[in-house]
Amino acid sequence: MPDQAHATDQAAAEQLPATGDLRDTTQPTRRATVPALEAMLHTAMPVLDHGFVRVVDYMGDDGAIVQAARVSYGRGTRKVSEDTGLIRYLMRHRHSTPFEMCEIKYHVKLPIFVARQWIRHRMANVNEISARYSILDREFYIPEPQHLAAQSTSNRQGRGDVLEGEAACAVLDLLREDASRCHDHYALMLGEGGSPEAPESGYGLARELARMNLTLNTYTQWYWKADLHNLLGFLSLRLDSHAQYEIRVYAEAMLRSVRAWVPIAAAAFEDYRVGAFTFSASMLAVLRRQLAGEAVTQAQSGLSRREWDEMQAVLAGGDAMTAA
C-alpha cells in the first residue's frame, strides 16, 4: 500500500517536528554506524490502516555487544571467540547485559488499545502525545475484513474463524460509526473553532475531559526507546503466534529494523528465542525415555494433559501454544 504509506508519512512529518529535514542530510560521526539501518532511518514502515513504525535514532551495533562481553575477559582471553559464536553463546545462556549496550528509538503511531498492551513493558522510555494538551486526529483503526475474527471457542483469549457476510458488515459499520460519532462529539465538546467539524457551535470543554469520549481504536503516537535486551524481550512476547494480531504487526515491523541493525544478534534471537522451546525437568525425563525407544503415553508421563499436548505439538514441528 504505497500510497497509504506515503500519506501516513506525510501526516507524521507535518505533525512532529524536526525529523523531515534530517532525512536528506548526513553528518560525519566517529560512532559505530550501521549503513543498513541508516537506509531505513526516518522512514515510516506502515502498520495497520493508519499506523506506522519509524526508526528515529540508534546507538551501537553487533560490535558493541561483543565489546561489552569482552570487557569481562580482559587481556588474557582476547583472541578466543569469534564474534558470531560469542553473540550466539550470550543469547543461548541469557547473558543479557552486553545486549543492553545497544539502544534504539522509534516513533510509533498506534491505536490506543494497542498502546495499552505495549506500555506494560516498563523497561523503556516513552513520550506520548498528551490529549490534555493536544487534540487527537480523527483516525481510528478499523480491521480489514480478513482480521475480523470470532471469539475462539477453545482459547479464552484467542481468535477463531473469520466473521463473514452480514455479520462482518454489521460489525465494521458499528465500529466505524461509533468511533466517528464519538470523535464528532469530542470535537463538538471542544468547540470554539478547535476543530473544523464544529467551527462555532462547540462547548469549550477542557481537553483533558473531552478526550474521555474517544473510543479505544483512536490512534495515538509516541516516541519509544529501549535497549536491545529489552526490545528483544518485547519482541519475543509480541511476535508469538498468540499475541494479538494488532500488536504482532508492529513487532514484525520492528524485527525488520533489528535484522538491519544487528544482523548477528537478530539471527541468534530467532534461533534461540523465537523458534525455541523450553523443556521442564519432567519433560526432559519423558524425552530421555522416548529417545531410548520407549513409547510413553500421557498417563505414564507424569505431565498434565496441557503440558503433554504442548510438548507433543512442539515435537511434531508445531507451536506449543496451538495445543493450549
Residues with catalytic function? 238
Q: Under rule CB under 8 A, which residues in 220-279 are in contact with a second copy?
A: 221-223, 225, 227, 244, 270-272, 274-279
Q: Identify whether the C-beta of residue 283 lies closer than 8 Å to the C-beta of residue 307.
A: yes
Residue from 144, 180, 209, 241 touching a second copy (CB under 8 A): that is 209
Q: Cβ 31 to a second copy, closest distance in Å?
A: 5
> Which range in 45-53, 84-92, 248-256, 257-265 contacts a second copy by CB under 8 A?
84-92
Decide whether 189 or 253 has the Cβ nearer to a second copy.
189
Alpha carbon 296 to chain centroid, angstroms: 39
- Dihedral (CA of 66, 69, 73, 74) sign: positive
Alpha carbon 237 to chain centroid, angstroms: 9
Q: Residue holding cell 571467540?
A: 81
228 is in an annotated binding site: yes
Interaction between residue 87 and a second copy (CB under 8 A) = no
Residue 176 has φ and ψ, to the nearest 5°, of -70, -45
Residue from 7, 10, 85, 193 touching a second copy (CB under 8 A): that is 85
Q: Under rule CB under 8 A, which residues in 284-303 are in contact with a second copy?
A: 284, 287-288, 290-291
> Which range in 2-10, 44-52, 158-166, 250-258 contacts a second copy by CB under 8 A?
158-166
CA-based end-to-end distance of the chain = 35
Strand partners of residue 12: none
Dihedral angle, C-alpha 96, 97, 103, 104, nearest 10 °: 10
Interaction between residue 317 and a second copy (CB under 8 A) = yes
Site string for a second copy, 118-157 (x = CB under 8 A): -xx-xx-xxxxxx-xxxx-----x-x----xxxxx---xx
The span from the CA of 221 to the CA of 250, in Å, is 13
3-state secondary structure of 139: coil
Site string for a second copy, 169-188 (x = CB under 8 A): -xx--xx--xx-xx--x--x
260 is in an annotated binding site: no
Give CA angle at 64 (60, 66), nearest 5°: 155
Counting every residue written for the chain, the total comes to 324
112 to 24, 117, 256: CA distances (angstroms): 32, 9, 23
> Which range in 1-9, 33-41, 46-54, 250-258 contacts a second copy by CB under 8 A?
33-41
Alpha carbon 152 to chain centroid, angstroms: 23
> Which range in 44-52, 111-119, 248-256, 257-265 contacts a second copy by CB under 8 A?
111-119
Q: Cβ 90 to a second copy, closest distance in Å?
A: 11
Site string for a second copy, 59-78 (x = CB under 8 A): xx--xx-xxxxxxxxxxxxx
Binding region for FAD: 97, 120-122, 128, 227-229
